[in-house]
Amino acid sequence: MTSPSLLLDLLQRHEGTVLTESFEGMSRCRLARYEATGAEEMRRRLARLFALLLDAVRERDLEPVLAYAREIARQRFSEGFDLQEVLSAINVLEEAVWRRVVKEIPPDGLAEALGLVSTVLGVFKDAMASSYVSLATKRHATSLDMTALFRGTQNRFYTSGTD
């Protein structure tokens, strides 16, 4: 089995656990706007994001992630959510997934599994935040270009071990 298959299997088997941990994490964070929506709505929103993650990993398609991120940005902005609060909710889910991945995926598959999760949720956070900022400032905010932060790391971590 390849690590994407292992990751998909893990996500499917532990959906309930991950969502429960995420909900508990959101409760600990005291995210006021989310708490005001009620426990059932918070659980529904977490489940929707988890399903999006699962589909994106399975299909290797980020278009639905981008579309949903823009939709969520518009909804949360119009509902008066603070950007930090929305990003915190996503981070809580991401951390719950990471904990499960690190616990169960063999070491040789960790980089790919964590990379897939981080890519999907990172793209979601970037698109959502850019859309949210565009709404808040009434002008277009481009996606963040982080390449300058990683200069010199290209292929550095993927060598054959002869450094």
Answer whether residue 159 shows pLDDT above 90.
Answer: no
Burial of residue 161 (CB within 10 Å: 0-12, 13-18, 19+) is exposed
* Residue 29 CA, distance from chain mean position: 17
| pLDDT of 157 | 42
Asked whether the beta carbons of 77 and 132 are under 8 A apart, the reply is: yes
Answer whether residue 36 shows pLDDT above 60.
Answer: yes
Cα–Cα dist 35/9, whole Å: 31
Cα–Cα dist 69/124, whole Å: 5
Tell me the CA distances in angstroms from 163 to 136, 153, 154, 157, 159, one per residue in order.
47, 13, 14, 10, 8
Per the model's pLDDT, the better-predicted residue between 65 and 146 turns out to be 65
How sure is the predictor about 115, in pLDDT bands with cuts at 50, 70 and 90?
very high
Residue 13: count other Cβ atoms within 10 Å of its Cβ. 12
Whole-prediction pTM: 0.79
- Tell me the CA end-to-end span of the chain in Å, nearest whole number: 30
| pLDDT of 122 | 95
| pLDDT of 4 | 67
For the record, the structure tokens of 89 come out as: 């909710």
How sure is the predictor about 94, in pLDDT bands with cuts at 50, 70 and 90?
very high
| pLDDT of 42 | 85
Amino acid at 25: G
Question: What are 118-146's pLDDT values in tens digits?
Answer: 999 999 999 999 999 999 888 554 555 54
| pLDDT of 119 | 94
